[in-house]
Amino acid sequence: MTLVLFGLFFLFMLLGVPIAFAIGASTLYALYQSGVPLMVVTQQMFQGINSFALVAIPMFILAGDLMAQGKVSERLVSFADSLVGFMRGGLSVVSVMAGMFFAAISGSGAATTAAVGSSLVPELKRKGYDPASAASLIAASGTIGVVIPPSVPMIIYAVIAQQSVSKLFLNGFLPGLAMGLGLMAIAITQAYKRQYPKGTPLSLPTIWRTLKAASWGLMTPVIILGGIFSGIFTPSEAAVVAVNYALLVSLFVYRDLTLPQVYKLLIRSAMTTAVIMLVIAMSAVLSWTLSSWQVPGAIAQAVLSLSTNPYVIMLLVVAVILLTGVFIETASALIILTPVLLPLVLQLGIDPIHFGLIIVVGLSIGMITPPVAINLYVASSVTQLPLERITQAIIPYLLGLIGVLLLVVYVPILLGWSGS
């Protein structure tokens, strides 16, 4: 019945059935054919979303939307430009740095791409940067949005794997920083090759002025993460604090949002959350079914029979993660892969927090690999460039991010890293 389940799932995916319904329909049919009472479906759906940690998801989505809709991103871009804009191709580096700043606010790759892209693309075009390359760099920078905390995928993984959200957040900074530095190195290399111009001269008064203007936005991750790591509030409580802070800044400090706009953002965030929760609920039934049939254990034994070398097996795991990210969006892929791959990596002695970072970084790369490449679609919409041109220009950045993923996988293993 396992083959029937997965066969139906991929058939529904090829037919364009939404991921939640593809998971639910294939699992429901397999359970019905197995003679399992279908009351299990509703029980497991409720159990899958009955977690206090999941409260953080709609709150972080709303906080990110509030910050992205206002002028916070413009002020963050100006601050980043005052720091690194003086370099040759400085605006390319600004794209990445602004993406990292906004990642620490939004927790969303698409929101990061849209916010930074809408602020920087006109200036990049005006200064003679290759439009496709600039758009692809902004899309690649958007992948950092789900790695640097707060991160919605990390919350989902923590719930599925029964791990600490705080530990995942704490350990997410270094991979996010490594992704940013890798993209900057490639951008600078291309800037010298293409003789891009130097940007804003370095000036301490300018840095101070832009820092003051961006300070309200920059305080968001300080409040959220500082509160979590100091134990003042939980990640779920921090998400609510983030929403209140975003409303305060947008309505009363920057005054760049109106109440009708806030209402529209509430509706949009609710719709996004509903989709994610439905996928989580349906995937909980799938996870229960696979566990009941002992599928993860069988997969683990099958892979271990190929090789006992942890480096080889982890390379296979990385290949599976990257391939899945090509065809399935991040949250859905995370929900499907975690219960299947986690037992395998635990047998290898890999720390579950470490694996959480691996799977989140790996699936974030799927945001720039067509056909399911949300960041590329956002970048294409912002720049009005054909998707084909951006896809061709993304290759150097894609290879750079895969290199960072391999570092995330193998360096902690060599160092005997533990997430505790």
**Torsion sign, CA atoms 152, 41, 353, 329:** negative
For 374-388, the pLDDT digits (tens) are 888 888 887 888 888
Strand partners, 88: 198
User: Contact 110/142 with Cβ under 8 angstroms?
Assistant: yes
Burial track 59-69 (b if 16+ CB lie within 10 A, e otherwise): bbbbbbbbbbb
Q: How many CB atoms lie within 10 A of CB 131?
A: 17
For 100-128, the pLDDT digits (tens) are 888 877 767 777 888 777 777 777 777 78
Burial track 210-226 (b if 16+ CB lie within 10 A, e otherwise): beebbebbbebbeebbe
Q: Is the pLDDT of residue 326 over 60?
A: yes
pLDDT band at 318 (very low <50, low <70, confident <90, very high): very high
300 or 159: which leads in pLDDT: 159
Q: How many CB atoms lie within 10 A of CB 409?
A: 22
% of the chain exceeding 70 in pLDDT: 97
Query: For 195-234, where are the alpha helices, taking DSSP H only?
Result: 204-229
Q: Is the pLDDT of residue 52 over 80?
A: no
**Residues whose CB is less than 8 angstroms from the CB of residue 199 and which lie 6 or more positions away in sequence, other chains included:** 81, 85, 86, 87, 90, 91, 94, 127
Instruction: Give the residue-averaged pLDDT of 46-62.
Output: 81
Quickly list DSSP for 156-193: HHHHHHT--HHHHHHHTHHHHHHHHHHHHHHHHHHHHH
126: left (phi over 0), alpha (psi -120 to 50) or beta: alpha
φ, ψ for residue 88 (rounded to 5)?
-65, 130
Q: What one-character DSSP code corresponds to residue 232?
A: S
pLDDT band at 93 (very low <50, low <70, confident <90, very high): confident
Q: With CA atoms as reference, report the closest residue to 145 among 230, 223, 67.
A: 67
Query: CA–CA separation, 143 vs 390, rounded Å?
Result: 15
* pLDDT for 130: 84
* pLDDT for 406: 94
Supply the angle between the helices 395-414 and 310-327 in degrees, to the nearest 10.
Answer: 150
Query: CA–CA separation, 229 vs 313, rounded Å?
Result: 34
Query: CA–CA separation, 102 vs 109, rounded Å?
Result: 10
Q: With CA atoms as reference, report the closest residue to 62 among 292, 220, 229.
A: 220
Q: Is the pLDDT of residue 415 over 80?
A: no
Mean pLDDT of the chain: 84
Q: Is the pLDDT of residue 420 over 60?
A: no
User: Contact 163/353 with Cβ under 8 angstroms?
Assistant: yes
Instruction: Give the residue-averaged pLDDT of 3-31.
Output: 84
**Residues whose CB is less than 8 angstroms from the CB of residue 48 and which lie 6 or more positions away in sequence, other chains included:** 280, 281, 283, 284, 285, 287
Q: Is the pLDDT of residue 359 over 90?
A: yes
Q: Is the pLDDT of residue 50 over 60?
A: yes
Q: Is the pLDDT of residue 398 over 90?
A: yes
Q: Is the pLDDT of residue 416 over 80?
A: no
* pLDDT for 408: 93
Strand partners, 110: none
* pLDDT for 419: 62
Three-class SS of residue 417? coil
For 165-187, the pLDDT digits (tens) are 889 998 988 999 999 999 999 99
Instruction: Give the residue-averaged pLDDT of 216-236.
Output: 83
Q: What one-character DSSP code corresponds to residue 50?
A: -
3-state secondary structure 312-344: HHHHHHHHHHHHHHHHCCHHHHHHHHHHHHHHH
* pLDDT for 349: 86
* pLDDT for 409: 92
* pLDDT for 70: 67
Q: How many CB atoms lie within 10 A of CB 205?
A: 8
